[in-house]
Amino acid sequence: MMASLDLTQVSSSMCFGGFVYKYKHYSTTTDCTMTFNIYLPPSVKVDSETKVPALYFLSGLTCNEDNMITKAGALQYLSDKGIALITPDTSPRGCGIPGEDDSWDLGTGAGFYVDATTDKWSKHYNMYSYISAELPSIISANFPIGGHGAIMIALRNPKMYKSVSAFAPICHPSETPALKNTITEYLGPNKDDWVKYDSTELASNYQGPNINILMDQGSDDSLLKSNTLHPDHFVAAVENSKEYINLQTRVHPGYDHGYYFIQSFIKDHIDFHSTFLLQ
C-alpha cells in the first residue's frame, strides 16, 4: 500500500505537550477523500523509532472527526499515559449520492460502520472496511503506533483490539424499528445480512478470545428513552458469552447523550484501556 504518499497534513496544533494533526487522504475503500485526526503524546514524534499504543474513537450519528477530540477533554490523560488517539470521520462525504445529505440517520454523518451492499451505497459507504482495515494500515505505515474502538468491530476482529468501550451505543440495530429504514438502505431487506453488524447478535455468539468491554449510559438520554439503544439486550446477550466477554456497564443518573456526558467519564475509559494497552 502506497498510503504514505497520499496523506496530506491539514493542520498541526500542540496540546498538552503533544500534537494534534489533521490529515486527509484518498481512500480506496470509500473511493473518496477521508479526513482523520491523530493525537501523538509528547513521548513520540511522527518519525519516532519508539512506538506507543493507540485508541480509536468511533463517533456516532451526525458527528465528524472533530467532535470527540475537541470536546471530550481526553488529551490531558492520553498525554500523561503516553497513548495516541485516532478520531476518524463517521462516513464518506460529498459523494454525490442522491439524498446523501437529506437525513440525519442515513448518508453523510451516518455511515453506521457497515460495508453497504445495495447498489446505491456500496461504492462509497464501506466504513466497516475503512475503519477495521484501510485506516489501521495507513496509521501503522505513517505513525509510531504499536497497538490498535467500537464494540461490533472489536467482536468481529478479536485479535486486533485488546479492549473496547462505548458511550451510549446503539446495541441491537437489527431489532430496532427506528433504524430499519437505514439498515435496509445500506444492506438490503435480508435480515441475515444485518446481524454481522449487530453488537448484540455478535456478542451472543462470541467464542473468544477474551475481550474487555466498558459501557456507560446516561439515564436521561433521549435515544435510550425512544428505545433506539437497547443496552439491556446487549447485557442479556453477553450472558451467553460471559466466559469470553468481561463486560462492565454503568448507568449514570441524569446524564444525556451529548459531549458533556462523554467529557464527564472519559477519564474512566482511558484508565480502563490503559490497563490493557500498557500491559
Q: State the residues that interact with a second copy by CB under 8 A.
A: 13-17, 20, 70-71, 73, 75-76, 218, 220, 252, 254-256, 258-261, 263-264, 267
Q: CB nearer to a second copy: give 2 or 14.
A: 14
- Looking at beta carbons only, is 3 or 69 nearer to a second copy? 69
Q: How far is the CB of 148 from a second copy (least distance, A)?
A: 24
Instruction: Single out the residue of 33, 32, 249, 30 nearest to residue 22, CA to CA.
Output: 33
What minimum distance in Å lies between the beta carbon of 245 and a second copy? 29
Smallest gap from Cβ 158 to a second copy, in A, equals 33
DSSP 8-state secondary structure symbol assigned to residue 182: H
Closest distance to a second copy from the beta carbon of 12 (Å)? 8
CB of 20 to a second copy, least distance (A): 6
Q: C-alpha cell of 15?
A: 496540546
The CB-of-34 to a second copy minimum distance in angstroms stands at 22
The three-state secondary structure class of 272 is helix
User: How do strand 245-252 and strand 211-218 relate by DSSP bridges?
Assistant: parallel
Taking the least distance from each CB to a second copy, the nearer of 134 and 221 is 221
Cα 151 from Cα 158, distance rounded (Å): 10
Instruction: Between 76 and 204, name the residue whose CB sits nearer to a second copy.
Output: 76
Residues 6+ apart with CB under 8 A from 249: 214, 215, 216, 217, 231, 235
Amino acid at 10: V
How far is 59 from 22, CA to CA, in rounded Å?
16
CA distance 38 to 10: 12
User: Least separation, in Å, of the C-beta of 41 and a second copy?
Assistant: 12
Task: Indicate the residue among 15 and 223 with the shorter CB distance to a second copy.
Answer: 15
User: What 3-state DSSP class applies to 247?
Assistant: strand
Q: Rounded to a whole number, what is the largest CA-CA distance in the chain? A: 50
User: What strands lie across the sheet with 54-56, from one edge to the other?
Assistant: 8-15, 18-27, 32-40, 84-88, 54-56
Q: Between residues 26 and 104, which has the closer beta carbon with respect to a second copy?
A: 104
Q: Could you count the other beta carbons within 10 Å of the beta carbon of residue 95? A: 17
Residue 156 or 252 with smaller CB distance to a second copy:
252
What does the alpha-carbon distance between residue 182 and residue 169 come to, in Å, rounded to a whole number?
A: 16
